[in-house]
């Protein structure tokens, strides 16, 4: 019996995720996580905002592909997942607000280049290749949620308010169900070799971009710390 589409994709992801896991571990175990976390939440908010738009674009593109058996499965899945993810960006904005950061400040924050790359590539593939490519993006993001107990440990370590973690905890609770749905949906598709290639490319790009998000956040923190130190020395 041959391996399922999802099994093959996950095998590829496991071979490619070392850099992402390393960058993630460095971020979440950083001694200055209390200072880093607000910036992470703001960039995550950008991803959530862009992600809803991405899924709508991919759904609409799939709906336009009359007679395409893969697209006909993509449409109802994304219809449902858009509903599941609706307003999560607003929830996260409320959480960020409990850290004393206003919606205007969040909106004024420049998205990291890696965040733009993460989303921008998916728009291109959905519009110009095939909307099923978005499944590589979704599987990587939904397939690596933090555990609730990990988030609780982070909350205690950073001494940040529990209200800042509400959206993250909701995803920790719901994402295992979402990834199961994603796997089932992917396995039900009559994928061609070309479809499989672009889903894998999407997953690989997502892995690379997520690693870059963590690395850019850490680099910005180091740069800010050095700038502060130079200012103190000059005063």
Q: What is the model's pTM?
A: 0.92
Rounded-to-integer distance, Cα 148 and Cα 168, Å: 8
Tokens of 34: 């209390």
- DSSP letters, the chain, are -PPPHHHHHHHHHHHH-HHHHHHHHHHHT-TTHHHHHHHHHHHHHHHHHHHHHHHHHHHHHHHTSTT-TTHHHHHHHHHHHHHHHTTHHHHHHHHHHTTT--HHHHHHSPPPHHHHHHHHHHHHHHHHT-GGGHHHHHHHHHTSPPPHHHHHHHHHHHT--GGGGHHHHHHHHHHHHHHHHHHHHHHTS---HHHHHHHHHHHHHHHHHHHHHHHHHHHHHHHHHHHHHHHHHH-
pLDDT averaged per 10 residues in sequence order, the chain, 235 residues:
90 97 96 97 97 97 98 98 93 97 96 98 98 98 86 95 94 82 96 98 98 97 59 47
Give 173's contacts (C-beta < 8 A, 6+ positions apart). Answer: 148
Residue 231 pLDDT: 45
The domain made up of 5-26+33-224 is a member of CATH 2.40.50.140: no
* Tens-place pLDDT, residues 1-52: 678 999 999 999 999 999 999 999 999 999 999 999 999 999 999 999 999 9
The domains of the chain are located at 5-26+33-224
Crossing angle for the helix pair 134-142 and 166-187, to the nearest 10 degrees: 130
DSSP 37-66: HHHHHHHHHHHHHHHHHHHHHHHHHHHTST
């Amino acid at each position: 019996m041959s391996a399922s589409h999802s099994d093959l994709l996950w095998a590829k992801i496991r071979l490619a995720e070392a850099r992402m896991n390393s960058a993630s571990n460095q971020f979440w175990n950083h001694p200055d996580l209390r200072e880093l976390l607000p910036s992470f939440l703001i960039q995550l908010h950008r991803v959530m905002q862009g992600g809803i738009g991405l899924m709508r674009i991919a759904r609409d593109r799939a709906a336009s592909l009359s007679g395409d058996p893969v697209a006909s499965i993509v449409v109802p899945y994304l219809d449902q997942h858009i509903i599941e993810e609706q307003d999560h960006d607003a929830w996260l904005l409320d959480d960020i607000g409990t850290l004393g950061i206003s919606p205007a400040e969040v909106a004024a924050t420049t998205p990291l280049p890696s965040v733009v790359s993460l989303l921008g590539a998916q728009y291109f593939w959905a519009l110009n290749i095939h909307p099923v490519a978005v499944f590589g993006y979704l599987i990587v993001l939904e397939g690596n949620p933090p555990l609730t107990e990990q988030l609780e440990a982070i909350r205690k370590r950073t001494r940040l308010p529990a209200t800042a973690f509400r959206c993250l905890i909701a995803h920790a609770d719901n994402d295992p169900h979402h990834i199961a749905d994603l796997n089932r949906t992917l396995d039900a598709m009559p994928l061609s070799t070309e479809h499989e290639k672009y889903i894998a490319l999407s997953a690989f790009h997502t892995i690379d971009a997520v690693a870059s998000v963590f690395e850019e956040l850490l680099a910005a923190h180091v740069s800010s710390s050095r700038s502060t130190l130079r200012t103190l020395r000059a005063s």
